[in-house]
Homo-oligomer: A and B are copies of this chain.
Amino acid sequence: MSAKSPAVRIEPLSPLLIEPAVRAALLEDLGRAGDITTEACVPPDATAHGVIAAREAGRIAGLDFALTAFRLLDPKIKVTVRAPDGADVEPGETIALIDGPARPILSAERVALNFLGHLSGVATATAKLVALVAGTKAHVVCTRKTTPGLRAFEKYAVRCGGGRNHRFGLDDAILIKDNHIVAAGGIKSAIEAARNHAGHTVHLEVEVDTLALLDEALTLGAHSILLDNMTPDQLREAVKRTAGAAILEASGNVTAQTITAIAATGVDLISSGAITHSAKNFDLGLDFKPV
């Protein structure tokens, strides 16, 4: 039985980023006294054969986190991946096989599944929206509305879901919003200040909520324009007026019900906070099998 292929191209995260997070999560779970249940009940030399299986359909993300959890507790644990990050699975489908000493498998189980369930949840929520815009030019993108401490990981899960990433933080792109415009004394002075201040690699995006402001932003040379809470008709008009002079991002009220119509307007990007901050945990479990 060979492993599945991912549905999208996935570039793995660096272990330098993954390992500290998994180590911290293991310590959070082990506490000061460690896994007292397993130590009490499970003989040191017991071995186990476990199966991580999906309990619903979805897109997998986060296996390297699970692997790292098992490896950090015992390098002798062998993990065989069946459905790698980026792969779609059906309910009941095997994601990975776990073989090795029973104690560290049991002690790492919850941390491994918490990462895998959370990130697969993000990937699955993303993949659902991505599927709904298939055939259009629109990309689904995430936001900075991420779980504290997990931003790089959730953005990775978005990529596993076929989405694209918006900026990773306050420092890697300029995004001028309403409050900035007010404080700067108008969209013109805000954009000009930004252009004067930014290095040449810094992308300049402006949020607008009217077509008049869109026109102004285009004139002032914004690279991207975030169209906030516009109707499909407004979006269609925005696409027409922009005529490729800037990247257009639709935002606000993006759901499975609305996204197809939004994508049909011709915008380049549709952003969603929900795919990161409100994704349901992907349901999966680790069951021991008789050897």
Interface-facing stretch out of A87-95, A227-235, A254-262, A277-285: A277-285
Contact partners of A203 in chain B: CB under 8 A? 200-203
Are A31 and B172 in contact, with the CB atoms below 8 A? yes
Are B32 and A148 in contact, with the CB atoms below 8 A? no
The verdict on A281 contacting B281 (CB below 8 Å), with A29-B170, A200-B164, A224-B201 known, is no
A166: Cβ under 8 A from any B Cβ: yes
B-contact bits for A1-32, CB 8 A (1 contact / 0 none): 00000000001011011000111111111111
A110: Cβ under 8 A from any B Cβ: yes
B-contact bits for A108-125, CB 8 A (1 contact / 0 none): 001101110110010000
Interface-facing stretch out of A37-45, A128-136, A209-217, A237-245: A37-45
Across the interface, name the chain B residue whose C-beta is closest to A169: B31
Closest CB of chain B to A289's CB: distance in Å?
10
Question: Which residues of chain A from 170 to 194 have any CB-CB distance to chain B below 8 Å in the complex?
Answer: 170-184, 189-190, 193-194
Contact partners of A33 in chain B: CB under 8 A? 152, 155, 165, 168, 171-172
Are A41 and B200 in contact, with the CB atoms below 8 A? no
Are B172 and A41 in contact, with the CB atoms below 8 A? no
Are B30 and A170 in contact, with the CB atoms below 8 A? yes
Are B46 and A183 in contact, with the CB atoms below 8 A? yes
Closest CB of chain B to A229's CB: distance in Å?
12
Are B148 and A28 in contact, with the CB atoms below 8 A? yes
Question: Which residues of chain A from 137 to 161 have any CB-CB distance to chain B below 8 Å in the complex?
Answer: 139, 141, 144-152, 155
Contact partners of A118 in chain B: CB under 8 A? 147-148, 277
Contact partners of A145 in chain B: CB under 8 A? 110, 113-114, 117, 281
Contact partners of A247 in chain B: CB under 8 A? 200
Are B281 and A273 in contact, with the CB atoms below 8 A? yes
Across the interface, name the chain B residue whose C-beta is closest to A172: B172
Are B201 and A16 in contact, with the CB atoms below 8 A? no
Are B179 and A106 in contact, with the CB atoms below 8 A? yes
Closest CB of chain B to A130's CB: distance in Å?
15
Contact partners of A25 in chain B: CB under 8 A? 148-149
Please, how many angstroms separate the alpha-carbon atoms of A226 and B189 in the complex?
Answer: 30
Contact partners of A23 in chain B: CB under 8 A? 16
Are A40 and B174 in contact, with the CB atoms below 8 A? yes
- Please give me the 4 A-B residue pairs with the lowest Cβ-Cβ distance, nearest first: A31-B171, A40-B197, A33-B171, A25-B148
